[in-house]
């Protein structure tokens, strides 16, 4: 799966969590722009993990601050 397709899928997964309909760019941050709290993060991460059949450990999550970094991380985890 190439980066564009990963990004498209993540965009559709994020929709139900994007309560304020923030326009999402690679630079959009989860804690700041999207105002995700820890419960939202858990549900959102679970949705991504299920979609791509991967694990994003909390240690890896700690490195991911914005949307672009998430797409990159998912691409990388898929290749592993």
Partner 1 sequence: MTDMAGENGAGDQAMSQGDLFSKFDGIIQQRETLLSSGVADPFSLVMEKVLSPTRAICNGRETILLGTYNYMGMTFDPDVIAAGKSALDNFGSGTTGSRVLNGTYQGHKECEEALKEFYAMDHAMVFSTGYQANLGIISTIAGKEDYIVLDIDSHASIWDGCALGNAQIVPFKHNDIEAMEKRLRRIPEGAGKLVVLEGVYSMLGDIAPLKEMIAVAKKYDAMVLVDEAHSMGFIGPNGRGVAEEQGVLDDVDFVIGTFSKSVGTVGGFCVSNHPKFEVMRLVCRPYVFTASLPPSVVATAATSIRKLMHGGAKRAHLWENSRTLHGGLKDLGFQIGTETPQSAIIAVIMPDLERGAAMWEALLHEGLYVNLARPPATPANMTLLRCSLCAEHSVEQVQTILGMFERAGKAVGII
Residue from 13, 41, 47, 75 that binds partner 1 (CB under 8 A)? 41
Positive or negative torsion for Cα 33, 39, 42, 44? negative
Residue from 33, 35, 49, 51 that binds partner 1 (CB under 8 A)? 49
- Residue 79 binding partner 1, by CB under 8 A: no
The CA distance from 23 to 1, in Å, is 24
Which among 8-16, 18-26, 27-35 is the span making contact with partner 1, rule CB under 8 A?
A: 27-35
Residue from 16, 50, 76, 78 that binds partner 1 (CB under 8 A)? 50
Q: In the beta sheet, which residues pair with residue 66? A: 29
């Amino acid at each position: 799966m190439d980066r564009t397709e990963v990004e498209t899928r993540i965009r559709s997964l994020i929709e139900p969590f994007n309560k304020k309909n923030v326009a999402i760019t690679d630079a959009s941050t989860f804690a700041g722009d999207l105002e995700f709290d820890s419960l939202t993060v858990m549900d959102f991460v679970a949705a991504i993990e299920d979609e791509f059949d991967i694990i994003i450990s909390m240690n890896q999550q700690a490195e991911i601050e914005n949307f672009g970094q998430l797409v990159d991380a998912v691409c990388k985890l898929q290749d592993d």
